[in-house]
């Protein structure tokens, strides 16, 4: 029993890491559910990587990285909307162009700095074991905003997942609520990068929600399963990281991904038809 509980009972930094990780899991469960149902995985991936130049510039000039992440996310969303609305290119093309462009810009900025290597590792992979109480409070506020907004907008968000045209007929502006959904994705990415890093936040958005989609048929149940499994992955990841000295953020995301494949394998084994019994030969 000590193996499972002592790391959290005897270390304040592990308690903060667990709380921050569970908050990330909760906000990612809500936002990730809509990412999975609406097929927005590409834009989620683009946002999680496209904020890198904003963070890099912010850290180089000495301002909080979260401010740079917000600017980078706004530039990504604004650029996608501009290209989509002012050209004949599809949104996927616009996302792809800005994705590779912003990521390349971030790498160029980082390559021009001789003192960025430590900060780069922290940006890419997070620092959940060294997260400050102020960052935990920021994560808590962000999670509250995500949950409250998704609750208030549950009906239009649900309609958008299955029929944007039906949402328009019911009196909900498809564009407005689509942009609001993108804003929630961006908020989750911006705040969560401090915990699990820009490279790994996409995994927390996708893996628990995908597991929830395998286990549930209703959106509410899907979100609940995603939150539960995401929180379990945080706990297991931190525990494994503590005992085996592995990277905490990466271990959390790996645990979440493995949970998905376990559920996937079990469901496929259960769905496999039993072999037919042949009649005995005379």
Residue-wise pLDDT for 25-41, tens only, equals 999 999 999 999 988 88
Render pLDDT for 198-243 as a digit per residue (tens, 0 to 9): 878 889 999 999 999 999 989 999 999 999 999 999 999 999 999 9
Distance, in Å, from the CA atom of 231 to the CA atom of 229, rounded to the nearest integer, reads 5
Helix segments in 39-153, DSSP class H:
41-50, 52-61, 65-86, 91-111, 117-125, 133-152
pLDDT at 274: 53
Share of the chain above pLDDT 70, in %: 93
User: Are 204 and 250 in contact, with CB atoms under 8 Å apart?
Assistant: no
- pLDDT tier for residue 279 given thresholds of 50, 70 and 90: very low
Average pLDDT of the chain is 88
- pLDDT tier for residue 48 given thresholds of 50, 70 and 90: confident
Going from the C-alpha of 144 to that of each of 106, 148, 184, 228, 276, the distances in angstroms are 30, 6, 11, 17, 53
Nearest CA-CA partner of 186 in 54, 97, 16, 37: 54
Distance, in Å, from the CA atom of 72 to the CA atom of 78, rounded to the nearest integer, reads 10
Provide the 10 A C-beta neighbour count for residue 275: 6
Arithmetic mean of pLDDT, 150-169 = 90
Render pLDDT for 86-123 as a digit per residue (tens, 0 to 9): 888 888 898 999 989 998 998 888 777 766 655 667 77
Q: Is the pLDDT of residue 265 over 70?
A: yes
- CATH numbers and ranges of domains, the chain: 11-265 (1.10.3470.10)
Distance, in Å, from the CA atom of 34 to the CA atom of 265, rounded to the nearest integer, reads 24
- Please classify residue 50 by burial: count the beta carbons closer than 10 Å to its beta carbon, then call 0-12 exposed, 13-18 middle and 19+ buried: buried
């Amino acid at each position: 029993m000590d193996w499972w509980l002592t790391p959290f009972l005897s270390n304040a930094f592990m308690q903060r890491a667990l709380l921050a990780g569970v908050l990330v899991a909760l906000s990612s469960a809500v936002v990730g559910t809509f990412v999975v149902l609406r097929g927005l995985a590409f834009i989620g991936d683009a946002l999680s990587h496209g904020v890198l130049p904003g963070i890099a510039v912010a850290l180089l000039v000495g301002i909080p990285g979260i401010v740079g992440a917000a600017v980078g996310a706004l530039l990504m969303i604004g650029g996608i909307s501009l290209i989509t609305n002012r050209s004949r290119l599809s949104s996927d093309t616009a996302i792809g162009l800005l994705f590779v462009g912003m990521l390349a810009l971030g790498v160029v900025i980082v390559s021009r700095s001789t003192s960025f290597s430590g900060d780069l590792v922290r940006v890419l992979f997070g620092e959940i074991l060294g997260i400050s109480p102020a960052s935990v409070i920021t994560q808590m506020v962000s999670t509250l905003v995500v949950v409250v907004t998704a609750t208030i907008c549950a009906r239009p968000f649900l309609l958008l997942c299955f029929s944007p045209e039906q949402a328009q007929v019911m009196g909900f502006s498809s564009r407005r609520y689509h942009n609001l959904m993108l804003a929630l994705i961006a908020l989750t990415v911006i705040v969560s990068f401090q915990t699990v890093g820009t490279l790994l936040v996409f995994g927390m958005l996708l893996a628990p929600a995908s597991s929830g989609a395998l286990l549930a048929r209703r959106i509410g149940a899907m979100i609940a399963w995603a939150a539960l499994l995401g929180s379990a992955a945080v706990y297991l990841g931190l525990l494994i990281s503590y005992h085996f000295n592995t990277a905490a953020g990466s271990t959390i995301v790996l645990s979440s991904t493995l949970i998905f494949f376990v559920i996937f394998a079990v469901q496929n084994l259960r769905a496999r038809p039993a072999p037919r019994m042949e009649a005995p030969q005379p």
